[in-house]
Structure formats: structure tokens, C-alpha cells
Amino acid sequence: MTTPLTWLYVPGDRPETVRKALACGADVVIVDLEDAVAPERKAYALAATAELLTTRHEVPVHVRVHAEPDIEALCALPGLAALRLPKTATPSQVHRAAALAPGIALHPLLESALAVEHAYAIATAHPSVAGIALGEADLRADLGVRDEAGLLWPRSRVVVAARAARLPPPAQSVHPDIRDLEGLAASCARGRALGFMGRAAIHPCQLPVIERAYLPTPEEVASAREIVHAATAREGAQALPDGRFVDPALVACAHRTLTLADRL
């Protein structure tokens, strides 16, 4: 599979909406059994999700679980691609989930100050950890921040922790206003500059905006091809017409750009 750029959350108690989401173009569909489902609907949501996962789907299906019984009920089903672990704050929580769901990819969500402090320890807690990400709504509340500036350090922290743990770059947290597509695009541009890769969404209308923001521009693709060509033509550091030197770091970035460009 190519690098996921769009991760669409769908409430688990709306099975018809989940099935529609599987056909809307998201790279990954996340069935939410936690915040998106009212307490009195959680049992139904779990049963509906279990039924959905009795078969495999072309689009990977992740499940954001609410409690340990959710993990136990879903972990052996063939349609489950991964589990997302909300409010993960310590490595021990990861170990517990891994013990309950051996062999299942885990994506801890960091939603508190303690979780951010433990970001690298969580990212390296178990071989089943396939990625980490922030849950910014709860993190904002925990930190008491009101604007983007208060989240700059936690965002950079999770990007660095993922890289240090040799995990994929994290996806950005959701943009909660589905009508503000211009704001979503601007926010994605800032996230891309920080090192994020792709973004979670809560409505299909957000998917093309996210994808456009994270795909390389034609100019970036052309530059990447020039770099790779220069690197393969001769060994050692080579200067490009714009003054940049073609060193291994620049070549690695160029290859990542070309991998993303394959989606075009």
C-alpha cells in the first residue's frame, strides 16, 4: 500500500455510514467506538463493528477502541487491520493491549501531557506499535491551551519521537470544523512543514483537501527527479544549479517525494 494520507473516522454505531465510508476514497477508515459513540450505544456499536469485520475489506479498517472488552471481541476478526488506543499515557498500556491482541498493529493516541512526555517510550514499547499520533482535543483541555502556539511543541515532540522510533511520520489530528476547508488546507500546510504526513478526517469532504495539501507540487516532483538523476549519474556530493549539494540526506528526501508522487 502507498503511504496513507487520509484517515477517516466514522462512528461505530452507524454501520451504514461505515460501509459508505469504505467507498469514499479514504486510505484508511477508522471505526470509532470511543468519543463518537454515546455510552448507551457502545454495546450496539461493538456488535455492529464485529459484524463488519467478519470479512476483509479493500480499504484497511482500524478501530479506535473504548475499553479492553472491545479489543478482546475484535482482535481475532479477519477484517481488522489495526487498533487505535485512545488516551495512551504509559508503555504499560501498550503492553496490555499487545497481550490481548497478539500480532495486531497498534496505534497509540497521545492525548495528555503525560503521554507527550512518554512519547518515545510509548513508540518503542512493543514491536506491534505501527504508529503514534496526537489526540489534540483532549490534549488542549489537559494543557489548557487556546491557540495553535500552545500545541507547537507537542506536535514537534510526537514527530521527533516517531522518527526516533523508526515509525512512519504521524498523521495530523482532525480539523473539527468540516465547513472550514480553507482553514483545513492552511493547517495541513503547517503540519506538513512540521514533519507530519497526512491527516485524520471526520467528513469525506475533508479528504481531497488533505490529499492535495500533502501531495508534492509539480515543482517539487521535478526537483526530486533532478536530485535523484544527479545522485545516480555520479558518486559523491554534486552541486545543483541552484547551489544545493546532492548529499544522501537530500536524496532520501527526494525519494520520499517521488514515492508520494506515484499517487498522482
Q: Collapse the DSSP code of 150 into the 3-class scheme (helix H, G, I; strand E, B; otherwise coil) and give the result.
A: helix
Nearest alpha-carbon partner for 97 in 63, 60, 51, 120 = 63
33/64 Cα distance (integer angstroms): 6
- Residue 151, CB-side half-sphere exposure with 13 Å CA sphere: 24
138 is in an annotated binding site: yes
172/196 Cα distance (integer angstroms): 6
Helix boundaries (H) for the chain: 15-21, 42-52, 68-74, 91-100, 113-117, 119-123, 136-143, 152-164, 181-194, 207-214, 218-233, 248-261
DSSP string, 122-138: HHTS-TTB---EE-HHH
Is 27:45 a contact under the CB 8 Å cutoff?
no
13 is in an annotated binding site: no
H or E stretch covering 199: strand 199-201
Is 68:59 a contact under the CB 8 Å cutoff?
no
Provide the annotated binding site.
111, 138
Provide the annotated binding site for Mg(2+).
111, 138
